[in-house]
Amino acid sequence: MNKLVSSVRFQNLMSKNNILKLFVIYGIGISLVQFLANRSLWADEAMLALNIIHRSPVELFKHLDYQQSAPPLFLLAEKLFSTVIPNSEYGLRLFPMLCFWMALYLFYRIVRKQQNIYLVCIIALTMFVTSRPFLRYSSEVKQYMTDVFVLLAIFWLTVKDYKKERMKYLMLGISGIIAIYLSNVTLIILATSGLYLCYKQISPCDSFRAAMKRRRNLYPLILVSAGWMVSAVIYYWYFVKGHPVKEFMEQYWSKHCGFLIINPLDEKFVDAIFNMLCSLFSAYFFLCWPFSIPVIWIIISVLSIFYVSGIIRIIKQKRTDLIILYCLPALLHLVMSTLHLYPCAIRLTLYTFPCMIIVCSLGIQHIIEKTKLSKSRWLSHFQIIIPFLILVYTCVKLPIKYIETKACLKYIEKATKNGKANVYLLGIHRFPCKYYIDTGHVSEKINFINHSDLEIKNLMLLNQSWLDNIKTKKYKTDWISNYRGRNWFMLSPAVPANSESIRRKLKSSGYSKLDEYKDYGVAAFLYDCGE
């Protein structure tokens, strides 16, 4: 009897719904592991963090320093959490992690409601919780995970069932107005939600009475849309119009093929298409990054097949509403990119990944059905074993590291037993170092020195000429001959030409290397420069 009861309990525990919930718990767990790893801030994070910790809440509504920009409500949330947990990356990264948790739960609810096929749900949740960009940006001081949360929150409010239809429009109206100040991509999301609801109201019905009743719901939708537009105009007028970073960012993304190019004769056409495809599909192969370019093309091709197959499945089911909901955000983003209004990049298209994941999951299911693999007795085993192996592999790859400036500083501090250590900052490390200085994480025995061409105070007003210099030109190395004693030089492997030119100059000057430290995205060398 006891064995029978235990068997029933085990079967209930291993029910399909509970297994899907375990995926959600797993996603929360690995994001927490990534959060607790407390990796170093990198330059872009540090520049935004410096604005957050040094400004009052009111001052965050003004144009930010270091050519940074972020939605005002996101900045206020960051300010709140950084005040609750002061002088810590944990406080700055807590809000993005909470956004990831809420986004994961909403994704689970949407998939469960709209897809009643267990295999599709398993594939979609596996791809979501093992996506390297999601895991990375769940603990990064940037607004990109907030974009994902806003999309899934608006979509859930759009597709969920309500006892009263008016409550749907009330919730969407209030949420949409708030979301405009929380995410830069809210207008794309709201346009998708509005068109989805409009289609649902005007699509053919079984009876004339039902059709008239549904068409009456267009009036509250029009009213809600008007509220969204008024809020968007206010946001544009006070926070976007005349923003000093606009020209710089347009130059930056034009130079780096961030805008989609539709002219095949343009010399940057292939690079722009490649960047666009990587931006849209990188959620799935970024886990094992970096790949060689040919391998990336192969993976993109396979994922494109899954995506197109998913579109075909939706069309065959005559679900135009799902085409609007899952495909329109990426399409609108590409249109805006073509018009130079919003570029394509992994972090900027992050919010479209949930939609792409669902379509690809449907595509995999469609291929399985067409190839008659669904009748295979092995499928039920593979649909558990393969996701399990992927989840285990993800755990092995954690935590995700990027540029470990903090670990480098700790090594230098530990290696400096007596006196002070002179650390010459070169490349992108000066902003994280400034953050750790201002928050008291760096010992007084470390003396930071910035080369005159690269002083932090001169980087308050970044421009394209500085960007070109940092990316393509070599640093002047004549100044190295002027220094004496033992000095640390913190270099950036991200700009190998500059790092190598400085190391060659140090060697040609007859200076001897005494120590070195290398980690993700950072390298520091201790040289004896003589007396």
Q: What is the SS3 assignment for 93-120?
A: HHHHHHHHHHHHHHHHHHHHHHCCCHHH
Token pair of 428, please?
Answer: 């992108």
What pLDDT, on a 0 to 100 scale, did the predictor assign at position 332? 95
Residue 4 maps to a domain: no
Residue 3 maps to a domain: no
What pLDDT, on a 0 to 100 scale, did the predictor assign at position 421? 77
Domain end, chosen from 377, 397, 417, is at 397
The distance from CA 323 to its chain's CA centroid, rounded to whole angstroms, is 24
Cis peptide before 290 (omega within 30 of 0): yes
461 and 512 fall within a common domain: yes
383 and 465 fall within a common domain: no
Residue 8 maps to a domain: no
437 and 488 fall within a common domain: yes
The answer to whether 426 and 492 are in contact (CB under 8 A) is yes
**CATH code for position 505:** 3.40.50
Token pair of 24, please?
Answer: 């959600």
The distance from CA 386 to its chain's CA centroid, rounded to whole angstroms, is 26
253 and 302 fall within a common domain: yes
- Total of domains in the chain: 2
186 and 97 fall within a common domain: yes
Residue 9 maps to a domain: no
Predicted TM-score (pTM) of the model is: 0.89
The answer to whether 524 and 421 are in contact (CB under 8 A) is no
Distance CA 134, CA 130 (A): 8
What pLDDT, on a 0 to 100 scale, did the predictor assign at position 91? 95
Residue 6 maps to a domain: no
Distance CA 27, CA 33 (A): 10
271 and 417 fall within a common domain: no
Residue 459 maps to a domain: yes
42 and 20 fall within a common domain: yes
Residue 509 maps to a domain: yes
Token pair of 395, please?
Answer: 């755990």
389 and 506 fall within a common domain: no
Residue 526 backbone phi and psi in degrees, to 5: -100, 120
Domain end, chosen from 345, 376, 397, is at 397
| Beta carbons within 8 Å of 58's beta carbon, 6+ residues apart | none
Distance CA 236, CA 19 (A): 44
476 and 380 fall within a common domain: no
What pLDDT, on a 0 to 100 scale, did the predictor assign at position 365? 87
Strand order in the sheet with 486-491: 446-450, 421-425, 486-491, 522-528, 512-519
409 and 390 fall within a common domain: no
Q: Looking at this protein, which amino acid is placed at residue 257?
A: C
203 and 286 fall within a common domain: yes
Domain end, chosen from 356, 374, 397, is at 397
For 235, other C-beta atoms within 10 Å of its C-beta total 19
459 and 363 fall within a common domain: no
What pLDDT, on a 0 to 100 scale, did the predictor assign at position 271? 84
Residue 2 maps to a domain: no
Q: Quickly tell me which residue has 């006891």 as its tokens.
A: 2
The conformational region for residue 257 under phi > 0 = left, psi -120 to 50 = alpha, else beta, is left
Q: Find the DSSP H helices in 165-292.
A: 165-180, 186-202, 208-216, 218-235, 245-255, 269-285
The ranges of the chain with pLDDT < 50 are 1, 3-13, 286-288, 452-475
Q: Looking at this protein, which amino acid is placed at residue 68?
A: Q
| Domain range for 187 | 16-397
Torsion of CA 241, 346, 146, 247, to 10 degrees: -10
What pLDDT, on a 0 to 100 scale, did the predictor assign at position 117? 79
What pLDDT, on a 0 to 100 scale, did the predictor assign at position 145? 96
What pLDDT, on a 0 to 100 scale, did the predictor assign at position 450? 65
